[in-house]
């Protein structure tokens, strides 16, 4: 599988993401955001975490205008897989590839810690190696992770099984570290080829570093 990891000024998770996919035996290319073409025959485009353009205006508000984003849009429109992690999730929202928007965390603090998540739906490529209802532990690190969507949008996310992950405690009781509507930590589009989440699976691929629960997620795309 060929993975393209897009790098913006201010991105800081591209090396971890590349390392994670290389650990899974995949071919990974870092792609500078000024490029106008994605590598040929790319299977998965990852928009990694970080602070693109220093989060000026609001997270990902400027990154969406980068030249490579036209290609990312058309890759997604053709049914190609796109995964947005943290700042990458914020980009997918800004680009309209995923519904909803991100606000500052309700407590206006940057939160950086391990957090339990509940797998809400695993009938998709990304979470297929996990089970619906499973509790996993993955780091979060963000200042703007307060996911917002209106009532009608939430109803349609639920109806189409687009809610992937919610925040919870170790027993699976709902928790909310940032104010997100319905404790949402990750969603996908209706066609289930575009995925966005605030937690960082690429930081949870080795038990030695605290958790390898992210590995199963990243493996979802590997044939």
Catalytic center residues: 86, 200, 202
Please name the residues in contact with 96: beta carbons below 8 A apart, sequence gap of 6 or more: none
Cβ closest to ligand GLN, residue 104 vs residue 129: 104
Rounded Cα distance between 192 and 8, Å, is 25
Nearest distance, CB of residue 57 and ligand GLN, angstroms? 12
Residue 30 in tokens: 């870092």
The pattern of x and - marking residues 85 through 124 that bind ligand GLN according to CB under 6 A reads -xx-------------------------------------
Per CB under 6 A, does 16 bind ligand GLN?
A: no
Per CB under 6 A, does 50 bind ligand GLN?
A: yes
Per CB under 6 A, does 196 bind ligand GLN?
A: no
Return the range that interacts with ligand GLN (CB under 6 A); candidates 27-35, 140-148, 162-170, 204-212. 140-148
Per CB under 6 A, does 144 bind ligand GLN?
A: yes
Cβ closest to ligand GLN, residue 47 vs residue 163: 47
Strand order in the sheet with 194-197: 27-32, 2-7, 44-47, 81-85, 194-197, 184-188, 163-168, 111-119, 135-142
Cβ closest to ligand GLN, residue 105 vs residue 121: 105
| Strand-pair partners of 7 | 32
Please name the residues in contact with 73: beta carbons below 8 A apart, sequence gap of 6 or more: 95, 97
Per CB under 6 A, does 51 bind ligand GLN?
A: yes
Return the range that interacts with ligand GLN (CB under 6 A); candidates 30-38, 48-56, 73-81, 114-122. 48-56
Which residue of 99, 143, 153, 172 would you call a contact of ligand GLN, by CB under 6 A?
Answer: 143
Rounded Cα distance between 81 and 79, Å, is 7
SS3 205: coil
Q: Is 176 exposed, middle or buried (0-12, 13-18, 19+ CB in 10 A)?
A: middle
Cβ closest to ligand GLN, residue 49 vs residue 186: 49
Residue 55 in tokens: 């989060």
Return the range that interacts with ligand GLN (CB under 6 A); candidates 44-52, 67-75, 169-177, 209-217. 44-52
Rounded Cα distance between 169 and 37, Å, is 42
Per CB under 6 A, does 59 bind ligand GLN?
A: yes
> Which residues are near ligand GLN by CB under 6 A?
49-51, 55, 59, 86-87, 141-145
């Amino acid at each position: 599988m060929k993975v393209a990891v897009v790098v913006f000024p201010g991105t800081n998770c591209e090396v971890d993401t590349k390392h994670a996919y290389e650990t899974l035996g995949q071919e990974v290319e870092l792609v500078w955001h000024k490029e106008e073409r994605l590598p040929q025959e790319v299977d998965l485009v990852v928009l990694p975490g970080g602070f693109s353009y220093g989060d000026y205006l609001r997270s990902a508000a400027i990154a969406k205008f980068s030249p490579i984003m036209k290609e990312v849009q058309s890759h997604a429109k053709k049914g190609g897989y796109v995964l947005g992690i943290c700042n990458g999730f914020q980009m997918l929202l800004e680009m309209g590839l995923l519904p909803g928007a991100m606000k500052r965390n309700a407590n206006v603090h940057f939160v950086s810690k391990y957090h339990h998540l509940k797998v809400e739906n695993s009938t998709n490529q990304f979470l297929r190696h996990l089970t619906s209802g499973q509790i996993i532990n993955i780091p979060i690190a963000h200042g703007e992770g307060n996911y917002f969507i209106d009532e009608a949008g939430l109803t349609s996310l639920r109806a189409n099984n687009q809610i992937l992950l919610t925040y919870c405690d170790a027993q699976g009781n709902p928790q909310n570290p940032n104010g997100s509507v319905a404790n949402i930590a990750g969603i996908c589009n209706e066609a289930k080829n575009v995925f966005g989440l605030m937690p960082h699976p690429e930081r949870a691929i080795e038990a030695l570093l605290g958790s390898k629960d992210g590995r199963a997620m990243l493996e979802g795309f590997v044939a």
